[in-house]
């Protein structure tokens, strides 16, 4: 697959070549059989569903050859690559290669293709868009023509469905507080599992370290550091760890996740004054019209990179993780699993379980194992799901 070129403005410098049409390609191009009402648009949908960046200039079954643009230049003429910085209803603000923002609509067929998804594009999506000619004084407008494959997915589960809330997030900063609200390592574990399942890296941040009178928070941080997570203790009151956290965010796309009241907004403002204030303004505006929900947006960091700001991240969940895969998301369990006596060991009670053995020898922290068992039982339907995050429902 040709790698999209970031600096490409769609000048079409690529060389057009004729290549043989591969009949079996038809099979692979889209996953599902299209419903009858989409039959007319099948070619266009195939093109959009194709993971490749080839520009199919000659469409249709009858064409024996396809014209593709070869090499570094996959662009359709007049389009540019950008990143979705905010979504407001059916309008997406796309940040172009030069950092300029362009209010884009989504090409009709792309909306149809992604019907059933709440939004055809989400914050963090890398898209190819066609800016319209800018008229004097009016804000630039454009059309999103295609969405690049999503590298990572940040999801939020409701009772029935899972919603994608952001794409291509590099890391989840799991934020807890030393106190007020009290520190719950089991909640940190939930977020770590979710991050891992969404293919995102994770950082453990314990804020309000000024309230860590008995050293428990420092001990918890050490626990996560030992199993390989980057950790940071912060205080927006004393300034502890703010520089370190800023460094961890630089050049990446991150999301801060954690219970309300732990200090996520305060941390963002400590890292970059004014960063989060803008969000407050937006929320006030949209509060008037109940129908306009600001789903999420990217906040640009001075040191490079973004923070994905989303109202729905607190309860981002592990709804889609099969119970058999849970062990894979507990990083320190992984090396022990092959030592279990039974291949289908659940590591909850079995004789000859190497994970339980490691817990007994003090190599795995009992609290981490307890978190695993709790999630395992939830996933198996033995106990109700999400007890601890349920109380975290959105304040909207
Ligand atoms: P969020 O809901 O996670 O965004 O939390 P906020 O940023 O709104 O902070 C919740 C409360 O915690 C506010 O009253 C803050 O002033 C307070 N707070 C934030 N950071 C700290 C800290 O490092 N130490 C202490 N003691 N309080 C803090
Ligand atoms: Zn086992």
The highest-level CATH class for domain 323-379 is mainly alpha
Domain limits, the chain = 80-147, 153-309, 323-379
From 199, 304, 196, select the one nearest 246 (Cα to Cα): 304
Burial of 282-300, coded b for 16+ CB within 10 Å and e otherwise, reads: beeeeeeeeeeebbbbbbe
Confidence (pLDDT) at 313: 58
Which whole-number Å values give the CA distances from 23 to 29, 50, 64, 144, 179, in the listed order?
Answer: 11, 15, 9, 29, 62
Confidence (pLDDT) at 45: 42
Q: Is 211 in the pocket of ligand 1 (CB under 6 A)?
A: yes
User: Which ligand minimizes its atom distance to the CA of 327?
Assistant: 2
Q: Which residues contact 327 (CB under 8 A, 6 or more apart)?
A: 333, 334, 337, 347, 355, 372
Per-residue pLDDT of the chain (396 residues; tens, 9 = 90+): 344 443 434 344 444 444 444 433 333 344 345 445 445 545 544 444 443 332 222 233 333 333 333 333 355 778 899 999 998 877 899 999 888 888 998 877 666 655 555 567 889 999 999 987 655 556 668 999 889 999 998 887 766 677 788 899 999 999 999 999 999 999 999 999 989 988 999 999 999 999 999 999 999 999 999 999 999 999 999 999 999 999 999 999 999 998 889 999 999 999 999 887 543 343 344 443 333 345 678 999 999 999 998 775 555 555 567 888 999 999 999 999 999 999 999 999 999 999 999 999 999 999 999 999 998 988 787 777 664 443 333 332
The CATH label, of 3.40.50.2020, 3.90.550.10, 3.10.20.30, 3.40.50.300, for the domain at 153-309 is 3.40.50.300
Confidence (pLDDT) at 106: 84
How does DSSP classify residue 193? Answer: H
Confidence (pLDDT) at 241: 98
Q: Mapping DSSP to helix (H, G, I), strand (E, B) and coil, where does residue 335 land?
A: coil
State which ligand 1 atom lies nearest to the alpha carbon of 209: 23
Q: Which residues contact 27 (CB under 8 A, 6 or more apart)?
A: none
Q: Which of 217, 263, 299 to mutate to test the pocket of ligand 1 (most atoms within 8 A of CB)?
A: 263
Confidence (pLDDT) at 48: 40
Q: Is 332 in the pocket of ligand 1 (CB under 6 A)?
A: no
39: left (phi over 0), alpha (psi -120 to 50) or beta: alpha
Contact 315, 394 (CB under 8 A): yes
Q: Is 207 in the pocket of ligand 1 (CB under 6 A)?
A: yes
Beta-strand pair 15-20/65-70: antiparallel
Helices (H) and strands (E) counted in the chain, each on its own, are 11, 15
Confidence (pLDDT) at 317: 58
Q: Is 210 in the pocket of ligand 1 (CB under 6 A)?
A: yes
Confidence (pLDDT) at 8: 39
Confidence (pLDDT) at 390: 38
Q: Which residues contact 250 (CB under 8 A, 6 or more apart)?
A: 301, 303, 304, 305
CA of 262 to the centre of ligand 1 (A): 6
In angstroms, the CA 52 to CA 35 distance is 23
Closest residue to atom 25 of ligand 1, CA basis:
208
Q: Is 162 in the pocket of ligand 1 (CB under 6 A)?
A: no
CA of 210 to the centre of ligand 1 (A): 11
- Find out if CATH 3.30.460.80 is the number for domain 80-147: no
Q: Is 264 in the pocket of ligand 1 (CB under 6 A)?
A: yes
User: How much is the pTM?
Assistant: 0.75
Q: Is 208 in the pocket of ligand 1 (CB under 6 A)?
A: yes
How many C-beta atoms lie closer than 10 Å to residue 84's C-beta? 28
Closest residue to atom 19 of ligand 1, CA basis:
263
Confidence (pLDDT) at 50: 40
Confidence (pLDDT) at 396: 27
């Amino acid at each position: 697959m040709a790698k999209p070129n970031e600096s490409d403005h769609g000048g079409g410098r690529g060389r057009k070549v004729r290549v043989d049409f591969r009949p079996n390609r038809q099979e692979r191009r889209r996953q599902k059989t299209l419903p009858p009402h989409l039959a007319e648009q099948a070619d266009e949908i195939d093109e959009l569903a194709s993971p490749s960046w080839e520009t199919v200039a000659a469409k249709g079954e009858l064409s024996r050859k396809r014209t593709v643009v070869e090499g570094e230049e996959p662009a359709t003429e007049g389009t540019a690559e950008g990143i979705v910085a905010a979504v407001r209803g059916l309008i997406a603000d796309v940040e172009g290669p030069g950092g300029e923002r362009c209010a884009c609509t989504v090409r009709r067929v792309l909306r149809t293709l992604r019907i059933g998804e709440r939004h055809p594009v989400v914050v963090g999506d890398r898209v190819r868009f066609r800016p319209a000619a800018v008229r004097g004084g009016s804000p630039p407008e454009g059309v999103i023509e295609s969405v690049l494959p999503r590298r990572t997915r940040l999801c939020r589960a409701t009772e029935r469905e899972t919603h994608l809330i952001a794409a291509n997030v590099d890391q989840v900063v799991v934020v807890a507080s030393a106190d007020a609200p009290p520190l719950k390592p089991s909640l940190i574990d939930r977020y770590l599992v979710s991050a891992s399942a969404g293919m995102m890296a994770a950082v453990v941040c314990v804020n309000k370290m000024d309230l860590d009178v008995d050293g428990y928070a420092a001990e918890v941080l050490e626990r996560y550091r030992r199993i390989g997570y980057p950790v940071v203790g912060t205080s927006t009151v004393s300034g502890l760890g703010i520089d370190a956290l800023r460094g961890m965010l630089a050049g990446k796309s991150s999301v801060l996740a954690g219970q309300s009241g732990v200090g996520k907004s305060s941390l963002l403002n400590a890292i970059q004054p004014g960063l989060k204030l803008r969000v407050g303004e937006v929320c006030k505006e949209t509060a008037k019209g109940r129908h306009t929900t600001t789903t999420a947006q990217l906040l640009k960091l001075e040191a490079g990179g973004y923070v994905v700001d989303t109202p729905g991240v607190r309860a981002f969940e592990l709804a889609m993780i099969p119970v058999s895969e849970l062990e894979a998301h507990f990083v320190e369990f992984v090396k022990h699993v092959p030592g279990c006596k039974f291949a289908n060991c659940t590591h909850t009670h079995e004789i000859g379980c190497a994970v339980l053995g490691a817990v007994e020898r003090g190599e795995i922290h009992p609290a981490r194992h307890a978190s695993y068992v709790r999630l395992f039982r939830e996933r198996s339907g033995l106990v109700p799901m999400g007890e601890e995050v349920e109380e975290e429902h959105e304040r909207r």
